[in-house]
Amino acid sequence: MTLSLRSLRMIGAAVLCAAVLPAAAQSLTVYTAGPGGLAKALAAGYTARTGVPVDVFQADTGKVLARLEAEAANPHADVVISASWDSAVDLSARGLLQPYTSAHAAQVPAAFRTQDFVAQGLSALAIAWNTRSGTPRPADWQDLAAPAFKDKVNLPDPAQSGTSLELLLGLQAAQGDAAWKLLGALRENGASVAGANAQALNPVLQGAKAAVFGAVDYVALGSQDNGEAIEVIFPASGTVIAPRPMMVMKAAPNPAQAQAFIDYVLSDEGQALVADTFLLPARADVPARRAGLDALKLLPLDAQVGQAEREATLRRFAQVFGRK
């Protein structure tokens, strides 16, 4: 039987589709809280190593979690990287995560890994102070409630920033009502809640504000490294660290690729990319580009804080700052 040219083209197209479909099925979808540059670097590195394309959705923690909820009936995410350890605890408690332990996880301190999730890296919360602002150098959180800082302080919104919520929970655990009195004093002194971390920091870099209360250190350190007139100050009374949990979703369309991506992020190459952003690498054996945990005074954290308490804390913060 002689096949027409048109038939040959159709057969060729079918063969091509058959060859392409398995590769497309192996694509990977990662939902991640910033930094965006790190997400792109890790995606590019993983693709270069494996040939597997990576689709990245990058936003703040609140938007990442909201998207997961919106897609609950039709999940798309294989891997989720949050800026809030508590969010991973909650997802695990709800049975939404697939247990996975990477071979590289043995180099991650036990406090920053569970059977369901592991830290990508760690940040700490700090005061980011504009050295040309004409204000006195602050040494502790309460200094930003002083008259010299009236109308000159920004706070990231903990409803949008997982790291900001970590600080709020840490201050509340360590100081109780005194933490809320400090927040009230900041509000009375004209402090503003200014979106997520970048929105809080940008006016300080531009000189419109003098300081950020609860700046994510790696963002501010990156700005300092770029020559901005900014100093990152870790308060004398203590701060919190914010491990950035990575997790494989139980409903992941491509769980094998998700696990391989976790392996890559925890590899020597992946952790070097993490360190390049001024995050602390999750692995204790990978050098950082900034001061390590031993240089910080850390506030105690309650590891059992659940979703209900997190939501109650966010509501109280909103009431203090007159937000709906």
CA pair distance 153, 307, nearest whole angstrom: 29
Q: Give backbone dihedrals phi and psi of 252, rounded to 5 degrees, phi first.
A: -55, 125
Binding residue per annotation — 46?
no
Q: What is the DSSP letter of 97?
A: B
**What is residue 64's three-state secondary structure?**
helix
Burial-class residue 149 by CB neighbours within 10 Å (0-12, 13-18, 19+). Answer: buried
- Helical axes 85-93 vs 162-175, angle rounded to 10°: 90
Number of H helices, E strands in the chain: 11, 10
Q: Locate 125 and state its tokens.
A: 């919360």
Q: What share of the chain is helix, strand, coil (3-state, %, to 5)?
A: 45, 20, 35
CA pair distance 150, 275, nearest whole angstrom: 35
Specify the amino acid at residue 74: N
Residue 214: in which H helix or E strand, if any?
strand 211-216
**Could you identify the residue written with the tokens 């709906």?**
324
- Distances in Å between the Cα of 4 and the Cα atoms of 7, 13, 17, 126, 254 are 5, 14, 20, 72, 40
Q: C-alpha dihedral over 224, 87, 299, 303, to 10 degrees?
A: -160
Contacts with 261 (C-beta within 8 Å, 6 or more apart), sequence order: 28, 30, 42, 46, 54, 78, 79
- Per the annotation, where are the binding residues for Fe cation? 218
- Per the annotation, where are the binding residues? 218
